[in-house]
Structure 1
Amino acid sequence: MRVARILLIVVVILGGLFVAADRIAVHVAQNTAAQRAQTSEGLSVKPKVSIEGFPFLTQVAGKKLDDVKITADDIAATDGGQAVRIQSFHADLHGVRLSNGFHHAVADHADGAAFLSYADLTKVAPPGVTVAYGGTDNSGRPMVKLSGTILGSQLSVLSQVSVHGSDSIGLHADALPQAFTALGLEDQLRQKIDFTFQLTHLPAGIGLSSVTPGPDGVSVAATGKGVVLAN
């Protein structure tokens, strides 16, 4: 019985050491992945990376992580072009394959979400245009409101928001004031209020799938396959 107790104590101690080593290893890996993601995407603030699942070391041995979560706040837009600051971004990456001495990480598939404030949207809107929440239209669709002094007149219109391509969002006025259309100024007015902007710094391989305006800002969903976490 004494031998059995000794073996049990040894197993428990070794198990504890393994758990400690595993947790230390995953902490180091998360920090390293965050640093590489920051460098790869040119981020001003290091994102948070969380590697799910236990044990971590056996996942590393198989060179494939079950689930990785990455969160980043206050993502700065690039210089030039119609880019916009992303207030927050979160992605769940599944089946992350490791290669090239663990310097390369690609997820089989991923889902993500980004949030943009109306203040940041106003910064990329045409000059003189302010972007705000517009409530819902008669069919219940959430809209944004564009207002400002355009073509010498003060106006306010409701606009639809939709995904354009894999990384851009477009705003298109639902209806224009009759005072402008009656004068044949529809095309000229749309050039002033309809616009498209790009979301930069998204992980390579992930694309926008939907966009939904809300009272505090715009929520954007993203999804993709073969998503690059570090390269």
Structure 2
Amino acid sequence: MRALRITLIVFVVLGVLFVAADRLALYMAESEAADKIKSSQGLTSTPDVSINGFPFLTQVAGKELDEVEIGVDGLTTDAGGGRTVRVTKLDAKLHNVRISSSFSSATADSATGSAHISYADLSTAAGQGITVGYAGADESGRGRVKITGQLMGLSLSTYSTVTIVNGDTIKLHAESVPGSKIPQWEQKVRQRTDMERKIDGLPAGMKLDKVETDEEGINVSVVGKNVELAG
């Protein structure tokens, strides 16, 4: 009986040590992945990376990770016309990530993601005197935003539809511009209100899926299959 107890204790201790080693390796891998994403994408803050599934070392040995989650806060992108817009939150989830033999690349069977842009940040991108807010959906169900404010001393109030173009571009386009008969007025208004942002750098196999508006801002969903990830 004593030998049995000793054997059980040894197995328990070995199990604890394996779990500790597994968690340490996991932490190091997540940290390294976060640093690589930060440097490759030129981010100012380090993203959150979570590799799910247990044990991690067994997944690495089999060169396939069950699930990887990535979260980035405060990403700033070009909105065109010399303007930038801040993406409040970007999340992505990769499923069944197969790692190459050299660990230099990986392919995810599928991926989903979402991004959120607040109305406050859209207003900042539009410039001083312009406010972007919630407007519900139009008759066809497309998301809309309401744009109000002052431009060149005149009051402005119009609605813009928010759509996805070609699977890689977010487009805000004013449905109509009040006072458009004034020479060059519509052009000046659209320079402030219209935005067309192509999301560069999406991994092969991923695309923008749909866009919706709510009281908090614009929400964009991303989907993908056989998503290729560079090392």
How does the TM-score come out when normalised to structure 2? 0.83
| Correspondence for 1:95 | 96
| Correspondence for 2:121 | 120
TM-aligned CA deviation for residue 79 of structure 1: 9.9
Gap runs ≥5 in structure 2: none
Query: Is the contact between residue 96 and residue 106 of structure 1 (CA under 8 Å) also seen in structure 2?
Result: yes
| Correspondence for 1:58 | 58
One-letter code aligned to 2:106: A
Per the alignment, do residues 125 and 196 of structure 1 end up closer, same or farther by CA in structure 2, a change over 3 Å counting?
Answer: farther
TM-aligned CA deviation for residue 132 of structure 1: 1.7
Kindly report structure 1 stretches of 4+ aligned residues shifted beyond 6 Å. 183-187
Q: Which digits, 9 at most, give the CA deviation of each residue in 1:2-26, with x for residues without a partner?
A: 2222221111111111111111111
Q: Which whole-Å CA distance do the structure 1 matches of 2:98 and 2:114 have between them?
A: 22
One-letter code aligned to 1:88: K
| Correspondence for 1:163 | 164
Q: Which has the higher contact order (CA 8 A, sep 6+)?
A: 1
Query: Is the contact between residue 84 and residue 197 of structure 1 (CA under 8 Å) also seen in structure 2?
Result: no
Q: Which whole-Å CA distance do the structure 1 matches of 2:131 and 2:202 have between them?
A: 25
SS at match of 1:59: helix
Q: Counterparts of 1:30-41 in structure 2 under 5 Å?
A: 30-41=30-41
Query: Is the contact between residue 93 and residue 112 of structure 2 (CA under 8 Å) also seen in structure 1?
Result: yes
| Correspondence for 2:135 | 134
Count of equivalent residues: 229
Per the alignment, do residues 167 and 142 of structure 1 end up closer, same or farther by CA in structure 2, a change over 3 Å counting?
Answer: closer
Per the alignment, do residues 70 and 230 of structure 1 end up closer, same or farther by CA in structure 2, a change over 3 Å counting?
Answer: farther
Q: Which whole-Å CA distance do the structure 2 matches of 1:10 and 1:119 have between them?
A: 59
| Correspondence for 1:195 | 195
One-letter code aligned to 1:115: H
Query: Is the contact between residue 110 and residue 227 of structure 1 (CA under 8 Å) also seen in structure 2?
Result: yes
SS at match of 2:103: coil
Query: Is the contact between residue 37 and residue 230 of structure 1 (CA under 8 Å) also seen in structure 2?
Result: no
Gap runs ≥5 in structure 1: none
Q: Which digits, 9 at most, give the CA deviation of each residue in 1:3-58, with x for residues without a partner?
A: 22222111111111111111111111110111111111111111010010001001
TM-aligned CA deviation for residue 87 of structure 1: 1.1
Are residues 1:209 and 2:212 paired? Answer: no
| Correspondence for 1:145 | 146
One-letter code aligned to 1:74: G
Per the alignment, do residues 124 and 111 of structure 1 end up closer, same or farther by CA in structure 2, a change over 3 Å counting?
Answer: same
Q: Which whole-Å CA distance do the structure 1 matches of 2:41 and 2:79 have between them?
A: 14
| Aligned-pair identity (%) | 46
